[in-house]
């Protein structure tokens, strides 16, 4: 609950809504950018009129986006935007065998759970972020909207630095070893390993069976230094037992079995992170002009709602409605998701009022 006392300072004059870009995708992939509206009611009327297949949200601009062609060249610039992360399951195709491309299942969805836990913890504890909204993309991944006032004003360079800090898997399809750790290991990586360890057996050893055949075994062994490689004619029966053997050999080398110049070996951590660590697209996050699918928007190719929850779980049952004329959404399974969103917005409003009161008190001290 909000504990800030009523604000003594005037409300923000800047009309973010009128300066916010909306984008619509219509039938036959007709794409309309730089749409903006004077009020939510005007937006609602336009949605009812054109019935878009997809809705994307962009930045807050210096001028109204629908008037960008009338503004002097170079004057129309994005001013603010949430820091966004788009985690797409297709970027994990080299480490999942249950599905590929846009297909997902309960086995590989564990990767999204790991990504959310790693990124969300780092945003809060390492980068000092407070207001985060995680949303299912509606098709094959998740989106994160970071909405703190200060973060929305970050430059592209700051956004790129944040994504770089949160990135570890490097290299494209032709790169065999995509994670390389050096001593001492950064605390962010150590905490990420702690998260991955909770899911690694379930996802990689049981769900994907990454050591279950000679071909898969060789793929993992290609990531291990030759001086600690186990025999390829391993007598262990399954992926769990083979991983225990492999990890025991790595851990025995860690206390000092390797040359001091090389430093300790973290090959087991490198394998775990290569198979499970979040994969981020820096271009999505660093650019203020990038658009992202709106929460609550229906994905045009799957019919999936952009809401928050556990993939594959049944839609929640709406709570009983006692008011005489409730909004239509409260009669549907969307009601609890809307409530979560309302609570998220209320939290931001409370924080903003508290900050304005603090600034007003500081000014009064002089």
Residues identified as active-site: 21, 86, 88
Extract long-range pairs of 208-211: CB within 8 Å, 24+ residues apart.
Answer: 208/95, 208/96, 208/97, 208/98, 208/107, 208/108, 208/275, 209/97, 209/238, 209/239, 210/95, 210/239, 210/275, 211/238, 211/239, 211/242, 211/243, 211/246
Q: Give every CB contact of residue 111 below 8 A, 6+ residues apart in sequence.
A: 89, 92, 96, 203, 276
The enclosing H or E element of 35 equals strand 31-35
Q: Nearest Cα to 81, choosing from 13, 129, 151, 12?
A: 151
Name the 3-class secondary structure at 303: coil
**Measured distance CA(200)–CA(196) in Å, rounded:** 6
Report which of 179, 120, 111, 151 is spatially closest to residue 286, judged by C-alpha positions. 151
Could you give phi then psi for residue 298, rounded to 5 degrees?
-85, 130
Q: Please, are residues 297 and 306 in contact by the beta-carbon 8 Å criterion?
A: yes
Q: Among positive and negative, which fits the CA dihedral 173, 185, 120, 311? A: positive
- Cα distances from 157 to residues 160, 285, 288, in angstroms, run 5, 10, 11
- On the CB side of 305, how many CA atoms lie within 13 Å of its CA? 14
Residue 9 in tokens: 């300072």
Hey, how many other C-beta atoms are within 10 angstroms of the C-beta on 248? Answer: 12
Please say whether the beta carbons of 296 and 307 come within 8 A: yes
Residue at token pair 């929305």: 152
């Amino acid at each position: 609950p909000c504990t800030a006392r009523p604000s003594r300072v005037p409300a923000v004059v800047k009309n973010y809504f009128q300066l916010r870009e909306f984008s619509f995708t219509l039938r036959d992939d007709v794409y309309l950018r730089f749409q903006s509206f004077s009020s939510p009611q005007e937006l609602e009327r336009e949605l009812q009129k054109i019935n878009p297949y997809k809705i994307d949200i962009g930045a807050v601009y210096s001028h109204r986006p629908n008037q960008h062609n009338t503004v002097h060249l170079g004057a129309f610039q994005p001013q603010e935007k949430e820091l966004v992360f788009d985690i797409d399951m297709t970027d994990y195709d080299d480490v999942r065998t249950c599905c590929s491309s846009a297909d997902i299942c309960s086995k590989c969805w564990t990767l999204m759970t790991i990504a959310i836990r790693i990124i969300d913890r780092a945003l809060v504890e390492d980068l000092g972020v407070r207001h985060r909204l995680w949303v299912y993309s509606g098709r094959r991944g998740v989106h994160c909207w970071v909405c703190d006032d200060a973060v929305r004003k970050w430059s592209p360079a700051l956004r790129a630095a944040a994504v770089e800090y949160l990135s570890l898997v490097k290299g494209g399809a032709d790169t065999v070893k995509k994670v390389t750790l050096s001593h001492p290991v950064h605390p962010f990586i150590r905490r990420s390993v702690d998260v991955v360890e909770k899911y690694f057996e379930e996802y990689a050893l049981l769900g994907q069976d990454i050591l279950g055949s000679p071909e898969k075994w060789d793929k993992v062994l290609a990531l291990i230094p030759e001086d600690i490689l186990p025999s390829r004619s391993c007598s262990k029966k399954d992926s769990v037992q083979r991983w225990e053997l492999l990890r025991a050999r790595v851990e025995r080398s860690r206390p000092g079995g390797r040359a001091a110049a090389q430093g300790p070996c973290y090959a087991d951590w490198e394998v775990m992170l290569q198979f499970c660590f979040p994969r981020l697209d820096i271009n999505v996050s660093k650019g203020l002009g990038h658009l992202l699918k709106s929460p609550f928007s229906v994905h045009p190719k799957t019919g999936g709602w952009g809401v928050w929850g556990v993939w594959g779980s049944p839609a929640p049952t709406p709570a009983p409605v006692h008011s005489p004329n409730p909004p239509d959404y409260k009669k549907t399974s969307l009601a609890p998701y809307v409530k979560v969103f309302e609570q998220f917005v209320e939290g931001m409003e409370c924080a903003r009022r508290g900050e304005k009161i603090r600034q007003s008190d500081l000014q009064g001290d002089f």
